[in-house]
Structure formats: structure tokens, C-alpha cells
Amino acid sequence: AILANQISAGEVVERPASVVKELVENALDAHSTEIDVTVADAGLKTIKVVDDGDGIDSSQVQTAFLRHATSKITEQRDLFRVRTLGFRGEALPSISSVSNVVLKTSTGSVGTEIEYKGGKLVSQKAAESRKGTTVIVNSLFYNTPARLKYLSSPNTELAKISDIVNRLALSHPEVAFSFISNGRELLRTSGRGDLLQVLGAIYGVKTVSRMQPIKSEKPDISISGYVSLPELTRASRNYISLILNGRYVRNFPLTKAVINGYGSKLMIGRFPIAVINIKLDPALIDVNVHPTKQEVRISEEPRIGDMVATAIRDMLADKQL
Ligand code: ADP
Ligand code: MG
């Protein structure tokens, strides 16, 4: 079982950023209103995620570390049908097979503290009773040197973690996020549901005045969000975030639709900052793509793309640009 977990860890836990993503998604699934992420040495020394969510009942804590022991559901294609972000029950067993994990959790009554190392249970005891869950991942990949070797420089790995936390914060402005790396605070959001505040926290308060709301509604599709005016651009597409039914996704045609909305108003090689929220019938989303890769295909992509581009064009016309 430990070997199977290490193999699946190769898929689920590619790098420190994937651990952060899985832990934060678990915290979101548990209805947290505040999620604090702390890392040391780009996550290789420590990744700590503290939430104030539902917690795990002491009788279920060991189960949570069993492979495919999801408390959520079901089939892969249900991914976008359910509200939860996790569904495979692979994250905790995978992470604990390649690190030293301490998880403290409480549903409000007496809590539990459990420790795993290299996939083996080290200890379990009753612990403090603040509601929520704290997961501390130490010495990531200590027993998989090949994995360690494959990683990029600490700065690159930290940038990947930061990127994931930023996207999760953008997808959930109603949750207060903080992100601290080696004692330095890199992100803090209010959790008051204000997407502009999150944008300001990530891209700088000065950018906020140059972000414009966009909107487009059809009976089956709703699009909203913020895009930057053509005067505020970046040299990479990476500042375009797509959020599909509350989940951060990657989709090239829709990213292109955002850019197309600007037409010739963008200089060559320059791209806007954008957060586009797309809400649509989950039946229109195809998740035949590896779920951890965040890549999705959507039927009616062209129609949704048109709506996005038109919403941006309308906003620019409104500003007489
Ligand atoms: P999945 O998220 O796919 O269900 P995981 O391995 O990520 O699988 O987590 C296993 C189970 O542990 C979850 O289904 C959930 O019941 C529980 N769990 C994990 N993290 C948390 C958390 N932060 N708060 C509450 N429950 C959690
Ligand atoms: Mg999960």
C-alpha cells in the first residue's frame, strides 16, 4: 500500500505547489472561512495549512489517510457536478507517503493529532479542540530522491506555490487567505467577497484603479469578472485567470478569447490582467483531462469565448477605447 501511494504520489504530488493545492482545496471543501498557508524553504522543509473548517471526527482521521477514502464521492465525470474540489481520496495518502505529516483536527469537541512518516502511522492522540484542521508537511520527498532532483530552483518552486495560492484566493474571495514564506507575508486577503481587493492584494493596489468589471448573461451561461484596461498589461498570459464554477482552470481557447476581446488595442507580446468567472451547467464541462492538470474542455467553447470577447469589447467601447 505504501508503494502504491508513492506511485500515485508521483501523479498527485508532483512538487511542493501540488501539495499546497491539495491541502488548500481540502480546506475549501471543509467550508473554511480562513486559510493560512506557511512555507519554509519553498515547501521542502515545511508546508503548513491552517483552516477553520469542519474538521475531521476522531473516528475518521485514520480513514482519511487510506487510499481512495474520500468522504466526498464518486466518479470522475461528476467533478464539476459536485461542489467539492477533491473527490479522489488520494491527496493525504500520497502526501504522507513522501513526507512527514502531522495533522491536528477538531470538529469542535475533543480533537485529534495524528502523525505519519513515509506512509506509516507514527502516533495518534487526543489534542486541542479549536474547530478546524492544521496540516504540517515536513521533509517533503525525503524518501524519493528522484523526485527531489526533478524539482526546479527554490525560487521557481516558491513562485509556483505563490501562483497556486493566488489563483485559489481569486477563485474564493469569500475566504480570507494568508500566505507566508520564510517569515515574509506574500498575500493577505480580506475574505469579504471583494474580488477587487483580492486583485489588489495580488497585483498591487495601484493596479486596482485600472481594472474594469465585465459582465454577460445568457440563460445557461453567466460571465463576470475584471479585466485590465489596455494601458495595464503584462508580458505573459499568466495573469489571465479563468474560474469555472468556482474552480480555477486552464483553457487555451478561452484565454485567447480574452486576448481577442482587446483586438488591436494590445501591443504585440503584451497581455491583460484578467479574472473571468464563468458559471455554466456542469453537463457542458468535459473533464476527460487529468484532473490535477487543471486543463478542461468545454462544449460550446466558441459560444462562451464569443461572450467573453464581446463583454470585453463592450467594456472598452463604453470607455471609448
Ligand atoms: P479527497 O479530498 O479527494 O476526498 P483527500 O486525501 O484530499 O481526498 O482527503 C481525504 C479526506 O480527508 C477528505 O475526503 C476529507 O473527509 C478529509 N479531510 C482532508 N483534509 C481536510 C480538512 N482540511 N478539513 C476537513 N476534512 C479534511
Ligand atoms: Mg482532497
pLDDT at 87: 53
pLDDT at 269: 95
> Is the CB of residue 10 less than 8 Å from the CB of residue 74?
no
Q: Which bound ligand lies closest to the C-alpha atom of 93? A: 1
| CA 133 to ligand 1: nearest atom | 23
Counting Cα atoms < 13 Å in the Cβ hemisphere of 290 gives 5
157-177 pLDDT, tens digit per residue, is 999 999 999 999 999 999 999
Q: Which bound ligand lies closest to the C-alpha atom of 67? A: 1
Q: How far is the CA of 53 from the centre of ligand 2 (A)?
A: 14
Q: How far is the CA of 17 from the centre of ligand 2 (A)?
A: 14
For domain 2-188, is the CATH number 3.40.50.970?
Answer: no
| pLDDT surpasses 70 at 291 | no
pLDDT at 68: 67
d(CA 155, CA 310): 38
CATH code of the region 210-318: 3.30.230.10
Residue nearest to atom 23 of ligand 1 (CA): 27
14-52 pLDDT, tens digit per residue, is 899 999 999 999 999 999 999 999 999 999 999 999 999
pLDDT at 3: 62
**What is the average pLDDT value for the chain, to the nearest integer?**
90
| pLDDT surpasses 80 at 4 | no
Q: How far is the CA of 84 from the centre of ligand 2 (A)?
A: 9
Average pLDDT estimate for 304-315? 97
| pLDDT surpasses 80 at 1 | no
CA distances to 48, 50, 64, 66, 253 from 131, in Å: 17, 11, 17, 23, 42
pLDDT at 73: 47
Residue nearest to atom 10 of ligand 1 (CA): 64
pLDDT at 283: 78
Q: How far is the CA of 248 from the centre of ligand 1 (A)?
A: 19
Q: Which bound ligand lies closest to the C-alpha atom of 87? A: 1
Residue 182's CB: how many other CB atoms inside 10 A? 14
User: Does ipTM come in above 0.85?
Assistant: yes
Q: How far is the CA of 39 from the centre of ligand 2 (A)?
A: 19
d(CA 259, CA 229): 12
Q: What residue segments make up the domains of the chain, in order of their start?
A: 2-188, 210-318
Continuous segment of H or E residues that includes residue 117: strand 111-117
pTM equals: 0.91
182-207 pLDDT, tens digit per residue, is 999 999 999 999 999 999 999 999 99
Q: Which bound ligand lies closest to the C-alpha atom of 88? A: 1
Residue nearest to atom 11 of ligand 1 (CA): 64
d(CA 29, CA 267): 40
Q: Beta strand pairing status for 176-181 and 34-40?
A: parallel
Best CA proximity match to 249, nearest among 286, 299, 295: 295
| CA 84 to ligand 1: nearest atom | 2
| pLDDT surpasses 90 at 153 | yes
Only one residue has cell 506557511, namely 38
> Which of 8, 18, 26 gets mutated to test ligand 1 (max ligand atoms within 8 A of its CB)?
26
Average pLDDT estimate for 107-120? 96
Average pLDDT estimate for 281-306? 77
Q: How confident is the model at residue 232 (pLDDT cuts 50, 70, 90)?
A: very high
Average pLDDT estimate for 232-258? 94
Residues with CB under 6 A from ligand 1: 22, 26-27, 30, 51, 53-56, 64, 70-72, 86-92, 133
Q: How confident is the model at residue 82 (pLDDT cuts 50, 70, 90)?
A: very low
